[in-house]
Chain A
Amino acid sequence: MSLFVKVSVLNVAAYRFDMLIRIFVSLMHLVADLLGVYVIFSNTKAVANWRVEHMVILVGVFRIVAGGIRIIIQHAAAL
């Protein structure tokens, strides 16, 4: 697994401009997710009995899983 991570990092770092923008985009993804939750819950109190706390947890779990897939599998598999 560490080899996969290493290959992924090397693959991304090969294109420095893209890597810098990607770091920014990753942060923006998280901000956009939370902003999305804020937009929904500024217009309603609940979504099918889900409150804002539930949605934030869902976003967090999704980001952790998606980030793990990206770091370990996606870039290494793209080689």
Chain B
Amino acid sequence: MRHLFRAFGVILKTEINVMLQYRGEIVLWSVWGLVNPLVLYAIFKAGAQSNADGKMAGLTVPQIAAYYFMIMIVGHVVAAWDTHDMGFYIRTGRMSGMLLKPMLPLWKSLAGNLAYKICTLVFVGPMWILVVFLIHPQFDCKPWQVALGLVALVMAFALNYCLTYVIALVAFWTTKLDAVGELYFGLSMFIGGRFYPLDALPHWLRIFADCLPFQYMAYFPAELFTGHMTDPALIVRAFVTQAAWIVGALISFRIFWSAAVKHYSAVSG
């Protein structure tokens, strides 16, 4: 395990250096991470201002601001894109080289993911501060909710990363997987709470969302940070469900990785 951590540290350093070569791209991705929640905030704010009670989905304008501000941060932290990368690695033959190394390719991908977040933090950090001054969010959270929110955030990243990687393994059979990645991303946006607070969804869609893991990747941590989630029983149930999905994703990875490597045949390179 010690060797793994040491090797991971070296890979992380390498990935950060690779990432810093493309500073313009980092800025563009950082801006994209801000634009989406801000546009949705503007729509919800305009909708709330059109209602007589000044609320939309039970939220006042400052509460809407807090929600989308937290979605902005949570969305950045939990982002994972292996469904797009895996197909590329297989089609270009790069996976062959990765499989020859004494570490699972997952660790390199994880290092790349963390490197992106570390590098983009330099850009998005000041932008987040600027956004706070522009939209004036109202946080109703207590310290215990912030503490639990941090735990939920780490678990949300683990869940999204593991699940994305498991789905990405389908590329070992299909070679290209971009459309599946789009489907996964679309679902995580729509019923994960990144487009709208889940309370805004119609009842039948909310039931559908409750059956899937996406709300534990964004909505749940965001609700804790904004202080909208206060019921202890609901919070415990959400943590247990989140943990269960992570365990399920890890077990699926063990099973599918073994099958994927056995099935693998190089395409190019």
Contact = CB atoms under 8 A, between A and B. Distances in A.
Mutual binders A and B: yes
Interface of A: 15, 17-19, 21-22, 24-25, 28-29, 32, 35-36, 38-40, 42-49
Contact of A24 (B50, B183, B190, B196): B183
A42 B231 CA distance: 26
B175 interface: yes
A25 B179 contact: yes
A38 B205 CA distance: 12
B46 A47 contact: yes
Contacts of A39: 195-196, 200-202, 205
Give the dominant DSSP class at B's interface: helix
Interface in B52-71: 56-57
Given A18-B180, A40-B196, 7 more contacts: A18-B174, A24-B183, A28-B183, A32-B190, A40-B43, A43-B47, A43-B57
Given A28-B186, A43-B56, A45-B51, A22 B46 contact: no
Interface residues of B, number: 28
A24 to B, nearest CB: 7
A35 B50 contact: no
A70 B57 CA distance: 35
B174 A15 contact: yes
A32 B201 CA distance: 12
B117 interface: no
9 contacts: A15-B174, A18-B175, A18-B179, A19-B179, A22-B179, A40-B43, A42-B200, A45-B50, A45-B51
Nearest to A48: B46
A25 B57 CA distance: 28
Contact of B205 (A24, A35, A45): A35
